């Protein structure tokens, strides 16, 4: 079977580690690991998730980032620096556990309204894609109601604006 399941479906009742175990017990062979808190971005947390997944016979193919840990457009430079450190931790952790893709939902609308234009967002997206590519990881972006890319139309507007080196 090649059907996957997300740890998000078990949150907050189960931790990511317990969710990976449950995913395997339910017969799924692939998983999306959703990171919810800063503590999920540590090397030890990725190692523990990788071990739990292997023990459960589950391959973690996707790592889904927590938007609050990636505030790349915050006016506080320290928060932006921390956002990039978290991106780097997530990419390294994804590579360590064998994930092939990292999903980012982009900035929250409160942090970066779409009316601000696409150029600064595309610069961050391009840099993030470069970092992912350097680690052998694919980057996926997801639209969701509270984020800058809140509609399918918003998401579709990004593609034609991407630099040629992305992806």
Q: What pTM, to 2 d.p., does this model score?
A: 0.92
110 Cβ contact partners less than 8 Å away, ≥ 6 residues apart:
none
pLDDT of residue 167: 58
Question: Structure tokens of 33?
Answer: 């690991």
State which H helix or E strand residue 52 sits in: helix 43-56
> What local confidence, expressed as pLDDT, does residue 10 receive?
96
Contact between residue 89 and residue 97 where contact means Cβ atoms under 8 Å apart: no
Query: pLDDT at position 166, please?
Result: 66
Q: What is the CA radius of gyration of the chain?
A: 16
pLDDT of res. 109: 87
Regarding the domain with residue range 4-161, which homologous superfamily does it belong to in the CATH classification? Divalent-metal-dependent TIM barrel enzymes (3.20.20.150)
Q: What is the structure's pLDDT at 114?
A: 82
Phi-psi region of 98 (alpha: psi -120 to 50; beta: other; left: phi over 0): left
Low-confidence ranges of the chain (pLDDT < 50): none
> Looking at the chain, how many residues does it have?
167
């Amino acid at each position: 079977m090649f059907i996957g399941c997300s740890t998000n479906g078990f949150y907050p009742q189960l931790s990511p580690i317990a969710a990976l175990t449950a995913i395997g017990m339910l017969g799924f062979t692939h998983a999306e690991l959703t990171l919810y808190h800063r503590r999920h971005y540590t090397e030890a947390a990725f190692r523990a998730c990788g071990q739990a997944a292997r023990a459960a016979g589950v391959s973690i193919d996707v790592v889904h980032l927590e938007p609050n840990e990636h505030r790349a457009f915050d006016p506080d430079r320290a928060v932006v620096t921390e956002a990039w450190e978290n991106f780097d931790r997530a990419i390294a952790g994804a590579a360590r556990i064998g994930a092939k893709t990292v999903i980012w939902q982009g900035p929250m609308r409160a942090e970066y309204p779409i009316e601000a234009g696409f150029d600064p967002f595309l610069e961050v997206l391009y840099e993030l894609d470069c970092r992912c590519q350097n680690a052998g990881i694919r980057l996926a972006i997801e639209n969701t109601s509270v984020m800058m890319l809140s509609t399918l139309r918003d998401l579709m507007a990004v593609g034609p604006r991407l630099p040629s080196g992305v992806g």
